[in-house]
Structure 1
Amino acid sequence: MERDRGHYDFGEIDWDEFWRVVKGGGPCHLQRMATRKAAHENGRWVREAAAVYANKQRTNQQAA
């Protein structure tokens, strides 16, 4: 932001670059995807525990 004027400077949008980034060709795409996959893998135990708990609750309700 230009502090002197209090607003951002911007120009014409390069639509080819924009859509290339949107489609996964951006500079941080590989890093972002690796982080996303690691977070998903690290959260596997939570999803498994939630499924076991839900099955236990369902079994207890059916037995009651």
Structure 2
Amino acid sequence: MSSEIHENSRCPKCGAEFRCGAKSGEKTCWCMAQPVLADADTDARDCYCPQCLKELLASKGI
């Protein structure tokens, strides 16, 4: 039996399900290679999916 944790996240903007490395117990997540957004730049309480994060960063000129 595997003790791996596999937990998906759901994007608060579009509702897409995606893999979050941090929530899955991994040392890194795909989002850690992206620029950091200040809390004031978003009203979400959870992670965005790769596509929505890309769009949000572009809209902020980041």
Bin for the TM-score computed over the shorter chain: under 0.3
TM-score using structure 2 length: 0.27
Greater radius of gyration (CA): 1
With a CA cutoff of 8 Å and minimum separation of 6, indicate the structure with the bigger relative contact order: 2
Structure with the larger strand share: 2
